[in-house]
Amino acid sequence: MLKDPFHQIAAALFFATVLGLALARLRQPLIVAYLILGVLAGPNVLKIIPSEGPIDVMAQLGIAILLFLVGLRLDVNVLRSIGKPSLATGAGQVLMTGTAGTLIALALGLDLTPALYVGVALAFSSTIVIVKVLSDKREIDALHGRLSIGYLIVQDIIVVIAMIVTNAIASGGGPGRDLVYVLARGAGLILVLGLAMRFVLPRVTEWVTHPPELGILFALGWAAALAALGDTLGLGKETGAFL
């Protein structure tokens, strides 16, 4: 067991490299190596990292940066063109899978609220896993990659709504007001970011691109700030970083 957080991070990076090389030889996605390492190095097996604290912040920052880079590469016009298919497939899949999961949980004897949580848990995919696999295979710009990203964005929005509804049901309150607030905050964030992209960011990027390392620092700070803002507004870190 390593007590120093620096040593824990160093050990995690070393073993991630070793496992990554091994699975790369087997032509397996690197995300599989990271998942295996997380299980082995965590507090339940080898206890190389006895607590989640030192790694949790790095993991959230890494997810934010990855989705930020995906957002940079996606064309807004392309997102508009795949909006309807993504909305139809994303909403349809969540509705069907969530309903089936809830009904199965009810049939197994669970009460309504736990059954709803089971249905919600079964209905959603892992955004970070799919984005990582698409990125490794360089398929984000392909048609199926763009459709998958749009599909996942729809799921991320729906999961926020679903959690508001299920939490309101569990507490005996009504989800209407919270849902309206979240949607209003999301619309406001998109509007503000759109105005910033049009009138502010072009000039700012001209200022920070010299020297180049300042531009990299600005990009990292921008990604982290938007992720934090999205989380504060109830939209989730992933949605904020992507926007």
Q: Which amino acid appears at position 169 of this protein?
A: I
Q: What is the average pLDDT score of the chain?
A: 76
Residue-level pLDDT at 12: 79
Pairwise CA distance, residues 215 & 206, whole Å:
9
Q: How many C-alpha atoms does 223 have within 13 Å on its Cβ side?
A: 21
pLDDT band at 79 (very low <50, low <70, confident <90, very high): low
What CA–CA distance (Å, rounded) separates 127 from 153? 8
**Residue 236 carries which DSSP code?**
-
First vs last C-alpha separation in the chain: 39
State the pTM of this model: 0.56
Q: Which region among 12-21, 146-155, 156-165, 216-225 has the lowest average model confidence (pLDDT)?
A: 156-165
Share of residues in the chain with pLDDT > 70 (%): 79
Q: What is the pLDDT of residue 103?
A: 93
| The pLDDT of residue 125 | 77
Structural domains of the chain, with CATH: 1-51 (no CATH), 52-242 (1.20.1530.20)
Q: What is the pLDDT of residue 86?
A: 77
**Residue 100: predicted pLDDT:** 92
